[in-house]
Amino acid sequence: MKVQSHRDLKVWQKAIDMTMTCYQLTSNFPDSERYGLTSQIRRAAVSVPANIAEGKGRSSTGAYINHIGIAVGSIAELDTHFEIALRLELITGVQSQTLRSQLDEIGRMLSGLRKSLS
């Protein structure tokens, strides 16, 4: 199957699913975190599929690779936010493991995509 759009990319689809998980999870955070951790997690989560899509839509391979790098950075940011949420007891250990598993899978897929473009 030929990839015609970012929507055809499995990594983009998984990143969208992860973003939905982040939104659902943070909806249970206290109101005091609305402009703190909730906002930071949601913004970083949205950044992953958005940068995959933007990179795919660029006319040069170099720009695409750059946007994949930004998405990878957002994954590292999310990992940090999840660690803080775990330590603040806003998420459980099981939730943390599930989220990190999603991040690891998306990270591996982005690494493979970046290698295939280089």
pLDDT of 50-68, one tens digit each? 999 999 998 899 999 999 9
Inter-residue contact 78 to 22 (CB < 8 Å): yes
2: pLDDT strictly greater than 80: no
pLDDT (mean) for 7-32: 95
What are the structural domains of the chain?
A: 6-117 (1.20.1440.60)
Percent pLDDT > 70 in the chain is 98
What's this model's pTM, rounded to 2 decimal places? Answer: 0.92
User: Would you state the structure tokens that stand for residue 28, as one six-digit string?
Assistant: 């249970």
Which residues make Cβ contacts (< 8 Å) with residue 110, sequence separation at least 6? 11, 52, 68, 71, 72, 75
Q: Measuring CA to CA, which residue among 117, 113, 116 is closest to residue 12? A: 113
What is the reported pLDDT for 73? Answer: 97
SS3 state of residue 88: coil
Report the C-alpha gap between 15 and 102 in whole angstroms.
8
